[in-house]
Each structure stands twice: as structure tokens, then as C-alpha cells.
Amino acid sequence: MKLWNGAGRRIYMQEVGTRDGLQAESAFVATEEKIALVDALSRAGVAKIEVTAFVSPRVIPALSDADAVLRGIERRPGVVYSALVPNVRGAERAIEARADELNLVMSASETHNLANLRMTRSQSFDALSAVAHIARDTGVAINVSLSCAFGCPMEGNVAESTVMEWCDAFIGTIGARGVTLCDTTGMAYPTQVAALASAFRTRWPDTELTLHFHNTRGMGLANVLAGIDAGAHRFDASLGGIGGCPYAPGATGNVCSEEIVHALELMGYDTGVNLGGLIDAAKRLPALIGHDIPSQIVKAGRRLDLHRPPADFGAIRERAHGRPLPAAPQV
């Protein structure tokens, strides 16, 4: 199957750790550390970075320095610097701080939208439209992230037709450049991903489609591969795998950037990312956020990061070679 052989196909990695990850942390990461992190990520070759969120500092104190961070980073050509904005006020701040793209969020599930954003989906959509109106006037691109596109932790399944209808509203009515289908609580599974991504690609071949998976139930990489097989080539991921899930304490959240890049590079895909640079950046996270990170690659190293044989290996080999017969009893 073609999927197993990447053959140099380009996959675009989009970093969400600095927003989706850090917003879930109780520690406040210093502004200059955040800037250094974003700069390390862009130097490593990540295609897009969700740098921060322009939200109320009362609601998310961890990102209260959104303006300073977005103004302080080094702008590397080709990298898209995105910011999450919940409303017109946030959009104005993000545009002033020179965001390349505004990321807007609403949920495919009415219950989740109410519980999370305290609005109906219809009210959220109106708010999104207002932001899009401003963005259009300033030439800043719009991406809409649709939460719970693969299921709602309270409602259960979300119909594919519901997801497609909202996408139609984002693309047709709002004029979004891109849509992100978000697996907010890790309910996506490969069969579903392949079907939904394929339906999206067929209907909107020219719209930027991003898939945003969480590894909550261990299916993150498998979902990425199902997405690739269905024609998707943009994936959100979080450095170190940071970012939890409020519905599953202790479970991992976002898929881990260096794990996805490590796997895709081995499979022959071109992620454009310098894996070493990415791992170095991830290794700085525990000191910044004050705890261990989920990243399996930081723990175990890359596939060919080899280990030395045991210290007495020479003696073991000599003894073995000196034995004419196997150690086990003969029959």
C-alpha cells in the first residue's frame, strides 16, 4: 500500500504546543522563554505555529502575554504565525501584533459548545462571522477549528453530515482559508478519519484542511496515517505531547510533534522538520512547565540512537566462543 512508502511526499507540521499546550499548564512560562520556544520551533522547520491566544488574561492567565510574545518572535519566511482569537476584541489585538492567521474555534456539538464557550453554536458562528469580517478588511487569513468533529464527550457520536454542514458555513459563508477538524477528546478512530477526511477533500479540494488529533486513547499516529491515506497533509501536534484533556485526568492530550515527525520521516515522508532541533526544544519543556512530558521520543530517543553493550560484553563473548556446546543440556 502506498501509505507505507512516503516517497518524499510533503506533510506540513503545525505546532500547537505554545497555545494548546501551555494554556493547560498551571506554571506561567516567562515571555522570553515562550519567544525562545517559538523561535526554536520555526528554526526546526515547522510550517505553522499557533503562537498564543488573545483571550481574557482572567480566563487563561498562562497566555496573558500574548501581545508581547507575538511581537517578540523572530519572523522566519515561510512560517505561518497563527493566533487563536475568541472574538473581535481578540482579533483586533492579534492583528495589531501581526498575526499571519487568526484561528477561530467553535464546536460541532451543541452541548460541548455551550459547556465550553457558553454560547449556542449559532451564536458562536455569528461571533466567528464578525471576526472574519474584520480579518477580511485587513487581509489576515482565517482558519476555523471545529472542536468535537470526531465525537463529543457528552453527546457521543457527531454525524458526519453535521461536520460537513459547519465546514460548508465556514468555507462558503465566512470564506475561511482553512478548516481544522479537531479530535478534542481523543474519540477519533482511523476508519472514521479516513471517511471524514476523504469526504472533506472531495468536496473542498482547494481548502486548507488540518487534522488535529489527541492521543487520549492511543490512536494518534494511526489517525494521522488514516488522514494521509485520505489525502490530508496538514497535522496539528504539540511539542513534547503537552496539553491534557479535561475529561480524562492523567491521559495524554495532543499528539506529540516529535513522535509524529519521527514516525513520518522513517516512513519516507518529507515533514520539512529538523527532528534533532525539535527534540532539543522538547527537552527544554520540563524545566519550563515543572513536570515530565509525555514524549516517548524524549524518553527513548530516536530509533537509531544506539546503546553500548554491557560493560562485561567482551568477557561474555569470550566465554561464549570458548564453549563448544550450547549452555543448555543436550539430548
Least distance (Å) between residue 117 CB and its own copies: 8
* Catalytic choice (148, 152, 167, 245): 245
CB 14 within 8 A of CB 234: yes
Assigned C-alpha cell, 159: 454525524
Tracing cell 485587513 back to the chain, one arrives at 138
CB 15 within 8 A of CB 238: yes
What span, in angstroms and rounded, lies between the C-alpha atoms of 206 and 202?
Answer: 9
Can you tell me the distance from the alpha carbon of 140 to that of 136, in angstroms, rounded to the nearest whole number?
Answer: 6
Closer residue to its own copies in complex, CB, 64/87: 87
> Of the two residues 79 and 135, which places its CB atom closer to its own copies in the complex?
135
CB of 10 to its own copies, least distance (A): 17
**Shortest CB 285 distance to its own copies, Å:** 15
Q: Is 245 one of the catalytic residues?
A: yes
Q: Which is nearer to its own copies, 30 or 300 (CB)?
A: 300
20 near 238, Cβ under 8 Å? yes
8 Å CB contact between 233 and 270: no
In the bound state with its own copies, the residue whose beta carbon lies nearer, of 40 and 222, is 222
Question: 83 pairs with which residues across the strands?
Answer: 52, 102
Q: How far is CA 324 from CA 39, 89, 321, 330, in A?
A: 60, 81, 7, 12
CA triple 29-11-219, angle to 5 deg: 70
C-beta of 44 vs 91, nearer to its own copies: 91
The distance of closest approach from Cβ of residue 176 to its own copies in the complex, given in angstroms and rounded to an integer, is 17
- Residues 216 and 220: their CA atoms lie apart, in Å, by 8
Rounded to the nearest whole angstrom, what is the least distance from the CB of residue 288 to its own copies in the complex?
Answer: 19
**Residues acting as catalytic residues:** 245
